[in-house]
Structure 1
Amino acid sequence: MRYAKIVFILLVMMAAPFLPPPANVWAEKSDNLIRVGLSGIAPRIEFRVETGAYALMDSATNLPIVQPKPGQLWSIIKSGPNLKVALNGREQKLPFDGPVILRAVDEGLHLYTYNGTKYRGDLIVENRADGVMPINVLPMEQYLYGVVGQEMGNSAPLEALKAQAVVSRSYAMSLKNSLGSFDVGIDTGTQVYRGYNAETQANGDRVVAAVDATRGQIVVYDGKVIRAFFHSNAGGYTESSENVWVEPLPYLKAVPSPYDIYAAQYENQTNGWPSVSYSWQKGITREELYSQVSRWNKKAENNDSLNLINVGSISDIKLSRIDRNGDKDTASGRVTELTLIGDQGQASVYRDGIRTLLGLRSTLFNISFDSTVTVLNGRGDQGRINSLDGSYSAGYDGRTTLVNKGEKDVFLQSRSANRQIPKKFSKVVIEGNGYGHGLGMSQWGARGMAKDGYKYDKIIQHYYNQGLDNGNLSIETIY
């Protein structure tokens, strides 16, 4: 068996004499390379070379396996503790320890297809205990070609695209070496990345131009690259990080974002987008609310950071906007605590968790009930309550009686009209502004600023340093 392995390696090397001397791709990792996890762990992955010369190599031995030709379907398969290579479904007998690397071997454009998407750069297939994991390794600028337009939109003004390029580069740089064997993913968990496919979209050349114009530039605060969070639309005001998540960061402070309204004024509206990123409305029935609470509780059973919501029949929902310090409302007016009140107690959800619970675009909202009434108390003071269930009314003779005992609805009469409302709400209507967590740069705010003549550096100063020119924040070129 050992003899067969040696013969196989020699035959492969003879069949591919053009291959460069063995080299470990990890040894070449530098500041301008990024590692992108293309998917989770799977039993196998498949790819095709599209353009350019590649070599498939075994990283454990630094020896070439084969030269994949354009159009061929290759698979890397988890087989026991090892990896197997297959062409068009036919497995080769020789196993490899891995990682297996699909590596470009000369200059020029190199592309391969994985999972329906074309990618530049190299492909590393890691050997994990329970499967294989594909990782795209490529220069940072080429990675950004596939990110900036997907996040900002290819049609955005050039200065907004430049701002997104610098922000996305900074965010990616801040994540390097923080996730193990890869730095970023391909979805909103980090940044949306669509590989070379993004470059071929309409106006993709504008994105490439914006990335190239800001090559190597990152945002630095007090000498450190910032975790440059961004979102779609702030709804008029961004928020400080401690009022959305936990950690207070000096470059994520609340600032006015008046240009967010540009989304509502944008001439190319498609099914209400992007106007609904600025202002929106959502109705939730009582049944839908219970379903959302149930989904939340299922997550909470396996997540100690989430509290269970067991309040029985819900009669009211209270909102608080108090900031993390507990002494004033949040600068943006975002909700920081939502309390569900029921006949078995009450439970609260905090800050950005509120978006998850109710499926909202942001936490900048108000809520109304179809059961809300304006009442007078015993002192003649006027107030609004959201539930008449269990309430008593007082007659002229001083007697009190349970409101519409035994019925689900109440009938209200005024001088001008009569109406029927439920004693407990059957539906709530949530009216809000903004889309996303509200931290850092508002993308539609940046687009509006750029349209009004602001340069990309001023946009970045506004959102990450409150528009101050005090030397704390700078844009540095690192390569």
Structure 2
Amino acid sequence: MPTVILILILPFLVFSNGVEEVLYKTVERYLQRGNYIGALEILHFLGDYKNSQELYKKVAQFFTPPPANLFKEEPLIRVKIAQGFKNLTLNCGRGEKTFKPIEKTEINPKEDYLIRFDQKTFIKLPSTAKLRIFRYRGQPWAVALLPLETYLRGVLVGEVYLRWPLEVLKAQAVAARTYALFNLYKARKSNLPYDVDATTNYQVFKTSALDHPKVVRAVEETRGEVLTYKGGLIYAMFHSNSGGCTANFQEITGLKIPYLTSVRENCNMATLKWSHWNKNLPKERIKNFLKGVLGLNISQIEDMEIKRGSCGRGLLITLKTDGGSVTLPLSVYFRLEMRIPSDWFFVIGKSGNSFVLAGKGFGHGLGMSQWGAFCLANRGWDYKKILQFYYKGSTIKRIY
């Protein structure tokens, strides 16, 4: 692992022992959510703390590409759609039935059906989807099993605007298919009872418009197509808006992934959603985080300094308080904890008891920018050109 960053940050770790331990414990929480990048970012930051280097190597193995030729036909994918519920009610043409998640159950209505959890949240599933109910990690879980290509329709509904150009939807379909197969392979290898969930922890899955003509066409016209690098499936990350320049995976985590480097979008992003934003970050929120989560004894937040990488995106943030300074990983950890739209921001002033932030983009910034793809498609780029722009050195291959 590179030592330059560690040399730069160690002098700032006035509160190091407690902070390092909290960060170390956060790794397990991130791994349970499938946030391998956040876990790797923290372990890279921790350096020699405890067995961080050993754990870093284990987490880094997750990003080893699965051989693309393993998938000869369309698989079923297991999508976690709920957990921690008390009752599950299924409604279809034949009536309604309520299940209590006491014993393992598999439901196969063979027609479209609606599921409600505790009479609150609900999801509609197609006739091709089976539903498994079981207990895992001390809670009831509901996992849908459905054909991958059907699942991808739900990802398009959840991840992009259907009014966008078809080439954007096709690019999203190929990236989402690759990402899903990558996670499916890793989950089966680890004997997990699910492959992905339906949230931004993986990729958003919604079933409100599975039969929308543009969705169907985008999935069917790219059926079986994936992104590969040297014969393996890539980890095809994507996000909402890069702000004009994507992030570099190696700068964030210390691990080199050739197809996840920083690229500048030669496109007019200025008018697109989330290209520019302003946000007030209350000092009280930062203080509560430092005291409540990190256990630091401070009463005042005085300033923030940011160490930057490619394009000016933030990598590390140093918080200056009345009790000293603490440096934290910014790209994933601090951004998520503080609910900041992206790591690419500047402190442009103070307003009352808040820092005023001006930033660019939304999301982690790695891989394909969805709004960037929209901009490029409007310039006449097809989906293959868009994908090969964002995932440098990758190849598009039809595997089934």
Place the TM-score, normalised by the shorter chain, in its bin. Answer: 0.7 to 0.9
1:125 to 1:370, Cα distance in 2 relative to 1, 3 A = closer
SS in 1 for 2:82: coil
- Find the structure with the greater CA-based Rg: 1
What does the per-residue CA deviation read over 1:365-403, in whole Å, with 9 as the maximum and x for residues that have no partner?
Answer: 1112349xxxxxxxxxxxxxxxxxxxxxxxxxxxxxxxx
Q: Considering only aligned residues, what root-mean-square deviation do their CA atoms show, in Å?
A: 2.3
Aligned-pair CA distance for 1:345 = 0.8
SS in 1 for 2:267: helix
Aligned-pair CA distance for 1:30 = 6.6
**Aligned: 1:282 with 2:279:** yes
**Aligned: 1:315 with 2:315:** no
Alignment of 1:135-214 (within 5 A): 135-179=143-187, 180-195=192-207, 197-199=208-210, 204-214=212-222
Amino acid aligned to 1:192: V
**Aligned: 1:33 with 2:76:** yes
What does the per-residue CA deviation read over 1:1-27, in whole Å, with 9 as the maximum and x for residues that have no partner?
Answer: xxxxxxxxxxxxxxxxxxxxxxxxxxx
What does the per-residue CA deviation read over 1:330-349, in whole Å, with 9 as the maximum and x for residues that have no partner?
Answer: 22211112111122111112
Distance (whole Å) between structure 1 residues aligned to residue 321 and residue 113 of structure 2? 56
The aligned counterpart of 1:336 is 315
**Aligned: 1:117 with 2:117:** no
What does the per-residue CA deviation read over 1:80-102, in whole Å, with 9 as the maximum and x for residues that have no partner?
Answer: xxx3xxxxxxxxxxxxxx3x222
SS in 2 for 1:154: coil
Aligned-pair CA distance for 1:254 = 0.3
Matched residue count: 317
**Aligned: 1:293 with 2:272:** no
Aligned-pair CA distance for 1:441 = 0.2
1:337 to 1:131, Cα distance in 2 relative to 1, 3 A = closer
1:170 to 1:298, Cα distance in 2 relative to 1, 3 A = farther
Distance (whole Å) between structure 2 residues aligned to residue 153 and residue 299 of structure 1? 37
Amino acid aligned to 2:390: Y
Alignment gaps of 5+ in structure 1:
1-28, 51-69, 84-97, 266-273, 301-307, 322-329, 372-424, 466-471
Distance (whole Å) between structure 2 residues aligned to residue 361 and residue 245 of structure 1? 19
Aligned-pair CA distance for 1:283 = 2.1
Is the CA contact 2:157–2:205 (under 8 Å) kept in the aligned structure 1?
A: no
Amino acid aligned to 2:280: G
1:291 to 1:427, Cα distance in 2 relative to 1, 3 A = closer
**Aligned: 1:349 with 2:324:** no
Pick one of 326, 333, 341 that aligns with 1:361: 341
SS in 1 for 2:171: helix
Aligned-pair CA distance for 1:436 = 0.7
Aligned-pair CA distance for 1:459 = 0.5
SS in 2 for 1:339: strand
Distance (whole Å) between structure 2 residues aligned to residue 129 and residue 429 of structure 1? 41
Amino acid aligned to 2:396: I
Amino acid aligned to 2:367: G
Distance (whole Å) between structure 2 residues aligned to residue 364 and residue 113 of structure 1? 41
Which structure shows the bigger proportion of residues in helix conformation?
2
Is the CA contact 1:245–1:351 (under 8 Å) kept in the aligned structure 2?
A: no
1:246 to 1:208, Cα distance in 2 relative to 1, 3 A = farther
Amino acid aligned to 1:250: P
Amino acid aligned to 2:277: W
Is the CA contact 1:45–1:75 (under 8 Å) kept in the aligned structure 2?
A: yes
**Aligned: 1:464 with 2:385:** no
The aligned counterpart of 1:444 is 371
Aligned-pair CA distance for 1:222 = 1.3
Alignment gaps of 5+ in structure 2:
1-71, 117-121
Distance (whole Å) between structure 1 residues aligned to residue 73 and residue 288 of structure 2? 47
Aligned-pair CA distance for 1:42 = 2.9
Aligned-pair CA distance for 1:104 = 5.3
> Which of structures 1 and 2 has the larger relative contact order (alpha carbons within 8 angstroms, sep 6+)?
2
Amino acid aligned to 2:385: K
Pick one of 229, 232, 247 that aligns with 2:240: 232
The aligned counterpart of 1:102 is 107
Is the CA contact 1:78–1:131 (under 8 Å) kept in the aligned structure 2?
A: no
1:357 to 1:437, Cα distance in 2 relative to 1, 3 A = same
Is the CA contact 1:309–1:347 (under 8 Å) kept in the aligned structure 2?
A: no
Aligned-pair CA distance for 1:210 = 0.4
What does the per-residue CA deviation read over 1:52-73, in whole Å, with 9 as the maximum and x for residues that have no partner?
Answer: xxxxxxxxxxxxxxxxxx2x22
Distance (whole Å) between structure 2 residues aligned to residue 125 and residue 149 of structure 1? 25
SS in 1 for 2:313: coil
What does the per-residue CA deviation read over 1:236-279, in whole Å, with 9 as the maximum and x for residues that have no partner?
Answer: 100111333453311110000233616x15xxxxxxxx2xx100
1:243 to 1:206, Cα distance in 2 relative to 1, 3 A = same
**Aligned: 1:434 with 2:361:** yes
Is the CA contact 1:260–1:278 (under 8 Å) kept in the aligned structure 2?
A: no
Distance (whole Å) between structure 2 residues aligned to residue 461 and residue 342 of structure 1? 45
Distance (whole Å) between structure 1 residues aligned to residue 288 and residue 254 of structure 2? 25
Is the CA contact 2:246–2:262 (under 8 Å) kept in the aligned structure 1?
A: yes
Aligned-pair CA distance for 1:295 = 3.5
Runs of 4+ in 1 over 6 A off after TM superposition: none
What does the per-residue CA deviation read over 1:287-344, in whole Å, with 9 as the maximum and x for residues that have no partner?
Answer: x2222331355444xxxxxxx55444222222221xxxxxxxx222111121111221
Percent identical residues: 31
Aligned-pair CA distance for 1:135 = 1.1
Is the CA contact 2:80–2:143 (under 8 Å) kept in the aligned structure 1?
A: yes
Amino acid aligned to 1:361: P
SS in 2 for 1:243: helix
